[in-house]
Structure 1
Amino acid sequence: MDWIKKISRVAVLFVLPVVVIACTVSYKFNGSSINYDKVKTISIADFPIKSEYVYAPLATKFNEDLKDIFIRQTRLQLLKPNQNADLQIDGEITGYNQYNQAVSADGYSSETKLTITVNVRFVNNTNHAEDFEQQFSAFRTYSSTQLLTAVQDGLIAEMTKEITDQIFNATVANW
């Protein structure tokens, strides 16, 4: 009887890991739904500023953030824009505007709204049914007692993250 207990313990030690490995479930927390058998490369062109109001660091910040999100959250190889990639993204920054948002009791503006708008063209060379051209935007409000130059970089960082997340979700996450 002792040898049966020993054999059953050894059998459990060998069978249990096999069962655990066979029953695993894979989750992706980045939301991408890329078929890496078909899609291996992406090209992202630099987005020039085509808005009436220009803040030069905006283009650099946006272009870097857009490329970074695809590098960090996918296994796609980033190619230069003139190469034939499986996925292609290009466009332009079409709006960088500020508007008075609210008026205080003394008749002056109390809040200002800063908005960034980006036009994106997406081409999926493995499935052209997913191609699109779409505008993405984000805005933030700030107190009119503050100068735009004092809050601009922080607001741009927040808005470019929001817009690049929107673009990522629309292109490879299929949300």
Structure 2
Amino acid sequence: MKKIKHIIPAILVLLTFNSCSVYNFTGTGKLDAKTFQVNYFQNNAELIEPGIERTFTLALQDLIQNQTNLSLTNSDGDLVYEGEITDYRISPMTATADQRAAQNRLTISVMLRYRNTNKEEDDLEKRYSFFYDYSGDAQPVGSVLATALDVIFLRITQDIFNDTLAKW
């Protein structure tokens, strides 16, 4: 009887630690890939803001590197992310009494094509979009633009991560 009292807790501890290896805090679970590749996202929007395509590509690479143990590669990746920026739009959101914009909205849309070379049923083609509201007195340059891009790209890259790796 004394042996059973010691064996049962030992078994429970082993099962607990064994089950933790399948899940991690990013929600990616066990991946069937070792490498990922993020191809350069071209800017095909009608209104062009120079440099945002590079900023977005690097933001997506950084997020995946920081939240997984996958290795970044330039070619032949197990997971391939590619696409383009399809929309960059500034729209007035609210007006003042003298018919001027009190608030503007910057909206950016990205078309993603994701390919998992090890598991083709995970392949995905989807459009992602998010926005940032700023004062009508401000212009989308300098710190306003930097903040807007940080907010928008953080949301879009996190949505891409969730759809392709976390499966949330």
What is the TM-score when the length of structure 2 is the normalising length? 0.85
Query: Which residue of 25, 38, 41 corresponds with 2:35?
Result: 41
Match of 2:79 in 1: 87
Unaligned runs of 5+ in 2: none
Q: Deviations over 1:111-155 (max 9, x none)?
A: 111011000001111121111211101101111011221411111
TM-aligned CA distance change 1:34 to 1:51, over 3 Å: farther
Counterpart of 2:27 in structure 1: which amino acid?
G
Match of 2:112 in 1: 120
Q: Distance in 2 between matches of 1:153 and 1:91?
A: 22
Match of 1:4 in 2: none
Q: Distance in 2 between matches of 1:171 and 1:136?
A: 13
Matched, 1:72 2:66: yes
Offset of 1:21 from its aligned partner?
Answer: 4.3
What is the TM-score when the length of structure 1 is the normalising length? 0.82
Unaligned runs of 5+ in 1: 1-7
Match of 2:24 in 1: 28
8 A Cα contact 1:121 1:133, kept in partner = yes
Counterpart of 2:28 in structure 1: which amino acid?
S
Q: Distance in 1 between matches of 2:30 and 2:162?
A: 11
Matched, 1:106 2:98: yes
Matched, 1:61 2:55: yes
8 A Cα contact 1:34 1:172, kept in partner = no
Matched, 1:169 2:165: no
Q: Deviations over 1:91-114 (max 9, x none)?
A: 011111101111122221111110
Q: Distance in 2 between matches of 1:131 and 1:19?
A: 39
Which structure has the larger Rg? 1
Q: Distance in 2 between matches of 1:84 and 1:149?
A: 37
- How big is the alpha-carbon RMSD for the aligned residues of Structure 1 and Structure 2? 2.1
Offset of 1:88 from its aligned partner?
Answer: 0.9
Counterpart of 1:169 in structure 2: which amino acid?
N
Aligned residue pairs: how many?
A: 160
Q: Secondary structure at the match of 2:89?
A: strand
8 A Cα contact 1:95 1:118, kept in partner = yes
TM-aligned CA distance change 1:115 to 1:34, over 3 Å: farther
Q: Distance in 2 between matches of 1:154 and 1:55?
A: 14
Q: Distance in 1 between matches of 2:50 and 2:29?
A: 34
Percentage of identical aligned residues: 28
Match of 2:88 in 1: 96
